[in-house]
Amino acid sequence: MESIKGNYVIRFALSFRFQHVLVFTSMIILALTGFALMYHNTSWGKMLIGLEGGFVMRGRIHRVFAIVLIFTVLWHFLQVIFTEKSHKEFLKLRPELNDFKDFIMTLKYYLRISSEKARFEKFNFIQKFQYWGVIAGTFIMGVTGIILWFKDFSMAALPKWVMDVTLVVHGYEGTLAFLVLFFWHQYNAHLNPDVFPMDMTWINGKMSLKDLQERHPLEYEKLMHE
């Protein structure tokens, strides 16, 4: 829950900022070690495998950071389920019909069909989409990854074609996550004219009241009302 401190609000609690760092570091390393294997036939794939200490070490690094990511996500879930303050935050991320309406309204606004701008709460539809995207992606990557990791158990339980499909899913879901995070999220966090060159919130957790009023007016009004 935000609290006004001078001319800014704390929007991103320290534990979440810490989780964010763990998630993106592990994801970058997972992407580097994962794509190295997926594109092992290319020169850059070979170079990456070399840089990662060879074929076996690449796998070890990949699995170590998979554990880091999985535990970060588990920690996050325990926190948002069991701590009251975080649980209230989490509920604000619930997808609602309003998000779709906001999306349409934003399209209309940019297309100059309407002059009315969507008014967002604490999390707008883009942020919710990203959050649930990361959750779904991590879930799929985690499950498929564990199936492939513990291959001897999987081979006892699953037919081979399921494992073939699992491998394809793991590779393409990883590609999808990479594209979303690397391009879409980088755009929103860095290149978007509102925040360029970088939205500092991920480091200090702060957002100025002015920005809040502009970008999350409903949240701003709620805070002022309180």
Partner 1 sequence: MEKVSMSRKTALIFFLVFLISFAAFLYQAWSQTNEECIGCHEDKSLAKKSASGEEISLFVDQKEFARSVHKKINCIDCHADLKGIKEFPHKETLMKVECKGCHEKEYSTYTQSVHGKAFLKGDKNLPTCATCHGKHYILCATDPECSTSPIKQIKVCTKCHEDRKIVAKYNLPGVDFIKSYEKSIHGRAIAEKGLVVSAVCSDCHGSHEIKPIDDPGSLKNKVNIPAVCSKCHKSVYAEYSQSIHGQAIAKGIMDSPVCTDCHGEHTIAASSDPTSKVSPKNIPKTCSRCHADVKLTEKYGIPGARYQTYLDSYHGMASKFGETIVANCASCHGFHGILPSSDPRSLINKANLPETCGKCHPGATKKFALGKIHVEATKESSLGKYYVRQFYIWFISILVVCFVSYVGLEMYGYLRGRK
Report the interface residues with partner 1, using CB under 8 A: 37, 40-41, 49, 54-56, 107, 109-112, 117, 151-153, 155-165, 167-169, 172-173, 175-176, 179-180, 183-184, 187, 192-194
Q: What are the C-alpha distances in Å from 106 to residues 103, 212, 222?
A: 5, 18, 22
Contact 45, 35 (CB under 8 A): yes
The neighbouring-strand residues paired with 8 are 5, 208
As a whole number of angstroms, the distance between CA 173 and CA 169 comes to 6
User: What is the closest distance, in whole angstroms, from the C-beta atom of residue 225 to partner 1 in the complex?
Assistant: 25
User: What is the closest distance, in whole angstroms, from the C-beta atom of residue 160 to partner 1 in the complex?
Assistant: 3
User: What is the closest distance, in whole angstroms, from the C-beta atom of residue 20 to partner 1 in the complex?
Assistant: 21
Q: CB nearer to partner 1: give 22 or 49.
A: 49
CA 137 to chain centre: 9
User: What is the closest distance, in whole angstroms, from the C-beta atom of residue 115 to partner 1 in the complex?
Assistant: 9
Q: CB nearer to partner 1: give 37 or 218.
A: 37
Q: CB nearer to partner 1: give 18 or 172.
A: 172
Residue environment code for 88-109, b if the CB has 16+ CB neighbours within 10 A, otherwise e: ebbeeeeeeeebeebeebbeee
* HEC sequence for 60-106: HHHHHHHHHHHHHHHHHHHHHHHCHHHHHHHHCCCCCHHHHHHHHHH
Joined together, the tokens standing for residue 1 give 């829950």
Q: CB nearer to partner 1: give 18 or 182.
A: 182
Closest CA to 116 of 94, 97, 101: 101
Q: What is the chain's Cα-based Rg?
A: 20
Q: CB nearer to partner 1: give 37 or 80.
A: 37
User: What is the closest distance, in whole angstroms, from the C-beta atom of residue 136 to partner 1 in the complex?
Assistant: 12
Q: CB nearer to partner 1: give 36 or 69.
A: 36
Q: What are the C-alpha distances in Å from 7 to residues 30, 177, 220?
A: 39, 36, 12
User: What is the closest distance, in whole angstroms, from the C-beta atom of residue 169 to partner 1 in the complex?
Assistant: 6
User: What is the closest distance, in whole angstroms, from the C-beta atom of residue 49 to partner 1 in the complex?
Assistant: 7
Q: CB nearer to partner 1: give 19 or 130.
A: 130
